[in-house]
Amino acid sequence: MAIVEEIVRLNLGNAGHAAGAFPTRTLGAIEKILPSAMEATAETGCGKSTILFSNISDAHVLFALDDRYLGSDSSVLFYEGCPLTRLDRVQPVFGPSQQTLPHYNGFMTYDCVLIDGPHGYPFPELEYYYLYRYIREGGFLIIDDVHIPTVGRLADFIQEDDMFEMCKLIDTTAIFTRTSAPLFDPLGDGWWTQKYNQRRTPRSHSFFLDDGGGRVPFLQQVGGTNPGGDKMMGRGSGTAARGFLRFFQKRAGSL
């Protein structure tokens, strides 16, 4: 039986936690796309997706806040307490990903990376910077919540980049596959070689690219956002915002 079907059978399909939760339909579609067996995977954030990764990956690392003090609202306790989670395959790296990713020294080649940590600018791009170089050719990059402008702009760039090919958009989750294109130097520059820039630079520039390859922004693909409405918050994001606020309030009180 598929892992997501098991989650539904255990009545966890609609469960919420501090970081929000993948809709069961979205997670089920992701499970159908990903291989049933992978050597190594990584994600920022944790929750229902962690349960899935622990069953299809031999080694899964997550970068997330340790919110276990939230009790029943805890994202960490949610996956830790699920009988489906294979905890022996999960390596949690707790703390703000803005701090943990730059200091982590256990990176390896990943079959899949999910970016679903802090959504405020420039944090999704920071997470992408530290993880994109480790995705193997043919591997997957998943960007969640592309309906949020700061996340959508990252996905807009990636969908036009030579290193990735759009695989599928599921609700507000974009899935890309790593191509055979050379790795963009993480310590260089070369902005003029990136198609997203080439297609939007003045025509007078020698590297201007007029190939008709510009893609529709994700905010338009998913119907846009309403700053005062539910869609802007996204599924589970109201709970997520409250959970993150409580985490940082507690952290500030301990300084």
Q: Rounded to the nearest 10 degrees, how much is the dihedral formed by the CA atoms of 30, 34, 40, 42?
A: -20
Residue with tokens 């990956």: 57
Contacts of 32 (CB under 8 A, 6+ apart): 2
Domain of residue 128, residue span = 3-253
Q: Residue 107, by phi and psi: left (phi above 0), alpha (psi -120 to 50) or beta?
A: beta
Beta bridge partners of 113: 42, 141
Q: What is the CATH number of the domain that holds 37?
A: 3.40.50.150
Which of 163, 188, 40, 54 minimizes the C-alpha distance to 109?
A: 40
The two tokens of residue 137 are: 């050719």
**pLDDT at residue number 8:** 85
Per the structure, the count of domains in the chain is 1
**pLDDT at residue number 104:** 98
Sign of CA dihedral 11, 55, 106, 117: negative
CB 164, CB 179: distance < 8 Å: yes
**pLDDT at residue number 66:** 97
Q: Which residues of the chain have pLDDT under 70?
A: 1, 12-21, 224-255
Whether this prediction's pTM lies above 0.85 is answered by: yes
Which of 119, 166, 109 minimizes the C-alpha distance to 142?
A: 166
Amino acid identity at 25: R
Coil vs helix vs strand at 175: strand
For 134, counting Cβ atoms within 10 Å of its Cβ (0-12 exposed, 13-18 middle, 19+ buried), the class is middle
**pLDDT at residue number 213:** 86
Q: Give the total residue count for the chain.
A: 255
Residue with tokens 């974009």: 174
**pLDDT at residue number 7:** 86
